[in-house]
Amino acid sequence: MRRSLLTLVLGSLCVTSMAQATTYVRVEKDGTKTYSDRPLPGGQEIEVKPAQGYSTPTSSVSSGRPSQPDADNFSYQSCGVTPQNDATFTNPDVVTIAVVTNPGVRYSDTVILRVDGQSVGPPGTMNYQMSAPVDRGTHMISVSITDQYGKTMCTVNSSFHVMRPGVNSPANRPRPTPH
């Protein structure tokens, strides 16, 4: 308790000493020290060094990425994905998805390819094959390309449709033979 009180008083005096340039100390008979900003009987004036502080650098980067130079005005002339939007496939064994950019993707850029909301392959995947059985219905493709600073350079979305006609579908009925 006594040590806590001493620490509290010492801490308060250190903060106060910045505003009050003079601090006094007196050593008691039991060896404890008493600090004050006013002269103490039997005490001496001491110099208290200011507490060490820290201030953030002015050009701090909160994302953990390097700061972006202003001179980097790169942009992709075109960014696309195949299959094209609203393409329809009937009973496909495989559907190949590919990202196409002009110019090609820079080494420092990151490509994220998603099919139906799920990332496919590691970052940087430019091609993906959906293998049999490709589920019937509409599938969504999204591509996002970001630079090394996290800036979005390109986004593209597309959807394609897979049809799987049933056995009795007109597409599966046998054609009449000519007589």
- In tens, the pLDDT along 20-39 reads 468 888 888 898 888 888 88
Q: Is the peptide bond before 170 cis (omega within 30 degrees of 0)?
A: no
pLDDT band at 43; cut points 50, 70, 90: confident
Q: What is the pLDDT of residues 70-89, one digit of tens each?
A: 446 888 999 999 999 999 99
Q: What is the pLDDT of residues 125-153, one digit of tens each?
A: 999 998 878 888 999 999 999 999 999 99
pLDDT above 90 as % of the chain: 40
Q: Cα dihedral sign for 49, 52, 55, 57?
A: positive
Q: How many CA atoms lie within 13 A of 36 on its CB side?
A: 10
pLDDT for 46 equals 84
pLDDT for 65 equals 55
What phi and psi values does residue 178 have, to the nearest 5 degrees? -70, 145
pLDDT for 146 equals 94
**Which of the following CATH numbers is that of domain 78-163: 2.60.40.10, 3.40.50.970, 3.40.50.720, 3.40.50.1000?**
2.60.40.10
Residues of the chain with CATH 2.60.40.10: 78-163
Mean pLDDT of the chain: 80
Polymer length in residues for the chain: 179
| H-helix or E-strand spanning residue 85 | none
pTM of the predicted structure, to 2 decimals: 0.55
